[in-house]
Amino acid sequence: MCPGNWLWASMTFMARFSRSSSRSPVRTRGPLEEMPTVQHPFLNVFELERLLYTGKTACNHADEVWPGLYLGDQDIANNHRELRRLGITHVLNASHSRWRGTPEITHPPWQAEE
C-alpha cells in the first residue's frame, strides 16, 4: 500500500472519530451492513476502526507486527527464554539510548548457522 493510501485512511478515520465525539447525530452501521473484503494483508479503514473500538488492551513486551517480525521493548530483549520460545534469532536496538545490550543478546547461542 502506498503512503498516500495510509494518509487517506488515517484522515478518514480521524474525520469519523471527530464526528462521533461531537454533539452532532452519528450515523451508525447496521448489523448486517456490507463489510468490505480485503484482497491484501493490509487493514482497511473499517477493520482499523473495528480493532480500535473492540480490540483488547494488553501490555505485551513483544508483538508480532508481521509474520516472523516482532516489535518489542528492552524487557523482551533481555529475556533469553522468551526469545527462544518465540523463535527470535536477532535483536535490533533501534532506540535512542545508551543501552546497547550484551553480546549474548546480539549473537544468541541458539542462532542458526549461516
Are residues 49 and 95 both part of a single domain?
no
69 falls within a domain: yes
Query: Using the 8-state DSSP alphabet, how is residue 17 labeled?
Result: H
Q: Which pTM value belongs to this model?
A: 0.38
Is 80 exceeded by the pLDDT of residue 24?
no
66 and 96 in a common domain:
yes
- If asked whether residues 46 and 7 sit together in one domain, one would say yes
Residue 25: pLDDT above 50? no
Whether 49 and 66 share a structural domain: no
* Domain housing 2: 1-19+41-54
Q: Please give the single-letter amino acid code of residue 87.
A: G
Structural domains in the chain (count):
2
Q: pLDDT: is 99 or 90 the higher one?
A: 90
What pLDDT does residue 81 have? 92
Report the Cα 7 to chain-centroid distance in Å: 17
Backbone angles phi, psi at 39, to 5 degrees: -105, 5
Within this chain, do residues 47 and 77 fall inside the same structural domain, yes or no? no
pLDDT of residue 29: 54
